[in-house]
Amino acid sequence: DGGITQSPKYLFRKEGQNVTLSCEQNLNHDAMYWYRQDPGQGLRLIYYSQIVNDFQKGDIAEGYSVSREKKESFPLTVTSAQKNPTAFYLCASSMPTWRSLGGTDTQYFGPGTRLTVL
C-alpha cells in the first residue's frame, strides 16, 4: 500500500520541551510539506522540501525546524520557541508534472498528528 504515514496520532508536550513529529511516504514523491491547522484558519504552510537535503520556510516557520536526509522522510520538530504549538499538524507530498501521470503537483496528505501542550 502506497501512502503517507504520520506518527504519533496524538502527542502531548510539556512547556519548554522540543518534540518531533514523524512523516514518512512510500509514494516516491520528491516534495514534502508540513502544514499547521487551527480551527477557522485553514492550512498554513510551515516548511516544504522539493528535494533531499533542501527545504524552504513557509509562512509560519518560526519555532519549527525540519530535516530532509531521505526522500521518504520529512520530520518536523516543534521547539520550545514556538509560543502556541497546540494544533493539528498535517504532512503532504507531491510529484512534479513532468514525472506524474495525469496529475501535477497534486498533494496527498497523511492522517495528521494532534499536538497538545500541557
Partner 1 sequence: AQSVTQPDIHITVSEGASLELRCNYSYGATPYLFWYVQSPGQGLQLLLKYFSGDTLVQGIKGFEAEFKRSQSSFNLRKPSVHWSDAAEYFCAVGAGDSGNTPLVFGKGTRLSVIA
Residue 20 sits in the site that holds partner 1 (CB under 8 A)? no
Neighbouring CB atoms inside 10 A of 71's CB total 19
55 binds partner 1 (CB under 8 A): no
| Closer residue to partner 1 (CB): 13 or 114 | 114
User: What separation, in Å, do the N-terminal and C-terminal C-alpha atoms of the chain show?
Assistant: 35
In whole angstroms, what is the distance from residue 93 CA to residue 23 CA? 10
The footprint of partner 1 on residues 84-103 (CB under 8 A) is 88, 90, 92, 94-98, 103
Q: What is the 3-state secondary structure (H, E, C) of 27-48?
A: CCCCEEEEEEEECCCEEEEEEE
Choosing from 14, 15, 41, 84, the residue that interacts with partner 1 (CB under 8 A) is 41
**Which residues here bind partner 1, judged by CB under 8 A?**
4, 6, 30-31, 33, 35, 40-43, 45, 48, 50, 58, 88, 90, 92, 94-98, 103-112, 114
